[in-house]
Amino acid sequence: MGVLVVMKGNNVFTTTLVLAEGLCVEHKSIIKLLKTHSNVEELKRFEIAKVRTKGRPIDVAYLDELQATILITLMKNSPEVVAFKVKLSKAFFKQQKLLQQLLSQQHNADWIEKRQDTKIMRRECTDKIQKFIENAKEQGSKSAEKYYMNLTRMELTGLFILEQKYPNARDVMNMRQLNLIEMADEVIANALEEGMVLKLPYKECYVLAKEKIQLLAKLFPPSPLPLLLQENKKLANNPH
């Protein structure tokens, strides 16, 4: 069983695919149940998205906690159903708590100040990366522009547990994570600067920065970022 609940905006959601897997039934059975009870006010509107499974893409409905609870309540209370209800409820509780923390920190003066600080350090880091890219081009690199993306990905994947893409991962980081990413930016900037001062080949400069991030990751074990529901969903009144 993978991720049970994700967040979007001011709410958290599960999916009909998660329900099907957790309840050990076919996904089309969950969709049929949702359609059958579309006269229930709470089950009339929900978001759907095309999700690729082992076969062709299928329509998957995103349900909030109330909708998921109502839908499961309409099923027989077998031991498996009861166990999954408990598991799903815990997942919703955990994500709701995390959501409240995110909303709270975005209005917290200390968090806002730290977020601004990280933006300043990030600009300094990107300035160094740009100089490194120009240096790499001068040394004959044909794909130097990719280093910006590679260095950014190296930071995020090395220091955090990522289960999806983020519009801006830093906006959902807590204070500890912001401190860490700020440190990582400084580490990369200094490593690239050091390599260029020593006139190292550009690939060695990159390796030097990578080694510094790997060392940082050993000191600070990777922590997870909250899961967000992507924006490319559409609202539906009924499934299919």
What would the pLDDT profile of 101-113 be if each residue is shown by its tens digit? 778 888 889 999 9
What would the pLDDT profile of 78-100 be if each residue is shown by its tens digit? 888 888 989 999 889 888 887 88
What would the pLDDT profile of 129-176 be if each residue is shown by its tens digit? 999 999 999 999 999 999 999 999 999 999 998 877 777 889 889 999
Residue 236 lies in a domain: no
Asked if residue 17 has pLDDT above 80, the reply is: yes
Residue 18 lies in a domain: yes
* Residue that finishes a domain, picked among 69, 98, 127: 98
Instruction: Specify whether the backbone of 199 is left (phi greater than 0), alpha (psi in -120 to 50) or beta.
Output: left
Rounded Cα–Cα distance for residues 164 and 192 (Å):
28
> What is the SS3 assignment for 92?
helix
Asked if residue 240 has pLDDT above 70, the reply is: no
Same domain, 213 and 122: yes
Same domain, 71 and 132: no
Same domain, 199 and 148: yes
* Residue that finishes a domain, picked among 74, 98, 122: 98
- Does the model's pTM come out above 0.75? no
How much is the pLDDT for 234?
42
Same domain, 89 and 152: no
Same domain, 125 and 78: no
Rounded Cα–Cα distance for residues 156 and 170 (Å):
10
Residue 240 lies in a domain: no
Count of domains for the chain: 2
Give the chain's mean pLDDT.
87
Asked if residue 229 has pLDDT above 60, the reply is: no
Same domain, 139 and 89: no
Percent of the chain residues topping a pLDDT of 70: 93
Residue 104 lies in a domain: no
Q: What is the DSSP letter of 228?
A: B
- Average pLDDT over every residue of 21-49: 89
Same domain, 115 and 174: yes
Residue 232 lies in a domain: no
Question: Residue 72's domain spans which residues?
Answer: 6-98
Same domain, 35 and 118: no
Percent of the chain residues topping a pLDDT of 90: 52
Residue 1 lies in a domain: no
How much is the pLDDT for 1?
56
* Residue that finishes a domain, picked among 98, 118, 137: 98
Same domain, 120 and 149: yes
